[in-house]
Chains A and B, each alone.
Chain A
Amino acid sequence: MSRLTKIVLIGLILFPFAFLLMLSLGRQWPYPVLLPEQWSLSNWQVVLGGSEGLGNSVLLSVLLSLSVATLSTGLSFWVSRHIAYHPKREAWLSLAYFPYVFAPVILAACLQFFFIVGGLYGTFGGVLLAQLFITFPYGVIFFSSFWNERLRSMEELVKTLGGSTRQAYAKVLVPVAKGALMTCFFQLFLISWFEYGLTNLIGVGKVPTLTLRVFQYVNEANVFLAALASCLLIMPPVILLWLNRQVVFQERNI
């Protein structure tokens, strides 16, 4: 690929990021000017000042996504081991594909009644549980290829040497699975971080994550704050990507 084609491709890839950043820093953008007439950091100061509640949404989104990713990764790691070693492994695993038959938002619509009855409608716990319904099966599918005969032999060796199941997890399985656990955690964090429809329906707007904020600002025709909330939504995945690249780069150098 020629250098020029590469530059054009990188330019096209970076365009949406630059465009959103431009809008988040703008104040006046009347038609037909190409760039905002005024530039200001005041929109970003809103986040730090907390006057629009955007700071709270950032914290709420981080807390929700961290909780969902931690719970789903831990539970799916534990459960997938028992599924993987079951004689009818394939039949069990096919259950994990069930949630993907539905679009998440339609799943939420069909489950609304149960969340109301359970007193979870419009609560942080309700949204967390609803997101678990999508992320947990994904985690099980993710880890299903991780378990193999070699790991089983290592586990049995621990037990032969007098170790307990807990020690097998703590001293062997978790350290061996560190890379897979991190990858799964990041992927589940992003699924939760990007979620809108299900969070909106089960949270009834009372759990205002960043995705809901973007939609709210778009509805209010507040282009600049919508762009700012979009930038805040994009930032963590970009940082994760950059960190991932650094780790891979370091590993290659080692």
Chain B
Amino acid sequence: MQERWAAYSSRSLFVWLAAVPIVAGVSYALLYSLGLIGIMAEGLTLVHWQEVLTDTAFWRTLGFSLFVAAVSILLSLLLALALVLRAPQAFTRGTLSFFIYLPLSIPAIVMAFFIFQLLGKGGWLSRLSYQLGLISALEQFPDWVNDNYGIGIIVAHVIMATPFFTIFFANLYQNERLGEYLQLAATLGAKKRQRIFRVAVPVLLRRGLATVFLYFMFVMGSYEIPLLVGSQSVQMVSVRTIQRLQRYNLGDIPEAYAISVAYTVMVVILLGGLLWYNRKQMGRA
């Protein structure tokens, strides 16, 4: 009896803490965006959705978030794979196995501040360029922070993601006994290039797909880094949503909630795609 009560109450708690906030949040945002609740509510209307979906700035925001996440993840993967495949043991034992964890102790807000002080017009690299005679005035230093291409955001995410993927792939290399596979491929006459691109990279990427995808979602929804080093004209989803919510114009609030719901739908579709792909792969295996 006591055990049954414990099971019931623990699962209820789980629903209340994990599912209810999300359902409540999405429902509230959806109802608000449809004009059914809120200070400006005037009854069911699709006008806010129409405004959001026909606004090129919204699509640019979504596209920019996807672009930043894709470039950041691609660069981090390239760097991490290059490091791990060059020296697979270096990151699981020895000095580097400790040091490679250090960048993970830097929070996003601190990384954003660091990038601002490093890449900004008055930052350390600009000063170094001046001292080396590469530039003769502060204005000549390129716009790497608060720029329209998201260079600062991408660099920050690459610095954060590369150590993470290096640790992840180094452990995967060990757990999947990739060294033995590569030796077998060499015995069968595979050249170094074939061993890397036909064996190592496909195995590591296929096994790590879910983690890579989740990190992609994390970058796409990131807030602190684009807030500090991003541009005001091309914003990422989280920054645009929060800025619209915090403006004095009450008319912007339903649109902000519509963006939240649209973003959630997009993430759910992407997650659904990942689950579908994973099942297909498992079915093949």
* Interchain CB contact (< 8 A) of A223 among B3, B105, B117: B117
Residue of chain A at shortest CB distance from B123: A31
Interface string of B60-78 (1 = CB under 8 A from A): 0000000000000000000
A9 near B117 with CB under 8 A, answer no
Q: Point out the residues of chain A lying under 8 angstroms from B103, CB to CB.
A: 13, 16
* Interchain CB contact (< 8 A) of B228 among A10, A165, A218, A238: A218
A100 near B223 with CB under 8 A, answer no
Q: Point out the residues of chain A lying under 8 angstroms from B109, CB to CB.
A: 194, 196, 211, 214-215, 233
B128 near A241 with CB under 8 A, answer no
B260 near A109 with CB under 8 A, answer yes
Q: Which of A80-122 contact B (CB under 8 A)?
A: 81-83, 86, 92, 95-107, 109-114
B2 near A165 with CB under 8 A, answer yes
Q: Does B122 sit within 8 A of A, measured CB to CB?
A: yes
Interface string of B237-250 (1 = CB under 8 A from A): 11001100100000
Residue of chain A at shortest CB distance from B224: A196
**Docked pose: A102 CA to B266 CA in angstroms:** 10
Chain A residues packing against B (C-beta within 8 Å): 1, 6, 9-10, 13-14, 16-17, 19-20, 23, 31-34, 75, 78-79, 81-83, 86, 92, 95-107, 109-114, 132-133, 136-137, 140, 165, 190, 193-194, 196-197, 201, 211, 214-215, 218, 223, 226-227, 230, 233-234, 237-238, 240-241, 245
Q: Does B146 sit within 8 A of A, measured CB to CB?
A: no
* Interchain CB contact (< 8 A) of B25 among A102, A196, A238: A102
Taking A32-B131, A103-B221, A111-B28 as given, write out 12 further A-B residue pairs in contact, using a Cβ cutoff of 8 Å, ordered by the A residue number: A10-B96, A16-B103, A31-B127, A33-B127, A82-B7, A97-B271, A99-B22, A136-B17, A194-B108, A218-B113, A237-B105, A238-B105
Residue of chain A at shortest CB distance from B27: A110
Q: Point out the residues of chain B lying under 8 angstroms from A6, CB to CB.
A: 90, 95-96
Q: How large is the interface on B (under 10, 10 to 19, 20 to 34, 35 or more residues)?
A: 35 or more
> How many A-B contacts if CB must be within 8 Å?
201
A233 near B242 with CB under 8 A, answer no
Q: Point out the residues of chain A lying under 8 angstroms from B100, CB to CB.
A: 13
Residue of chain B at shortest CB distance from A6: B96
Q: Does B98 sit within 8 A of A, measured CB to CB?
A: yes
A137 with B28, Cβ < 8 A, contacts A13-B100, A214-B109, A230-B114 known: no
**Docked pose: A79 CA to B14 CA in angstroms:** 7
* Interchain CB contact (< 8 A) of A13 among B102, B108, B238, B257: B102
Q: List 19 A-B pairs, Cβ < 8 Å.
A: A9-B96, A9-B99, A10-B99, A31-B122, A31-B130, A32-B131, A81-B10, A83-B10, A103-B221, A105-B242, A106-B221, A107-B22, A109-B260, A112-B245, A140-B18, A196-B224, A197-B224, A197-B238, A233-B110
Residue of chain A at shortest CB distance from B100: A13
B117 near A19 with CB under 8 A, answer yes
Q: Point out the residues of chain B lying under 8 angstroms from A133, CB to CB.
A: 17-18, 21
B102 near A241 with CB under 8 A, answer yes
B102 to chain A, nearest CB (A): 5
A92 with B14, Cβ < 8 A, contacts A100-B217, A194-B108, A196-B109 known: yes
Residue among B24, B25, B26, B221 with most chain A CB within 10 A: B25
A19 near B17 with CB under 8 A, answer no
Q: Does B107 sit within 8 A of A, measured CB to CB?
A: yes
Q: Does B15 sit within 8 A of A, measured CB to CB?
A: yes
A16 with B114, Cβ < 8 A, contacts A98-B19, A196-B109 known: yes
Q: Does B41 sit within 8 A of A, measured CB to CB?
A: no
Residue of chain B at shortest CB distance from A107: B25
Q: Does B284 sit within 8 A of A, measured CB to CB?
A: no
**Docked pose: A194 CA to B106 CA in angstroms:** 8
**Docked pose: A214 CA to B117 CA in angstroms:** 13
A230 near B138 with CB under 8 A, answer no
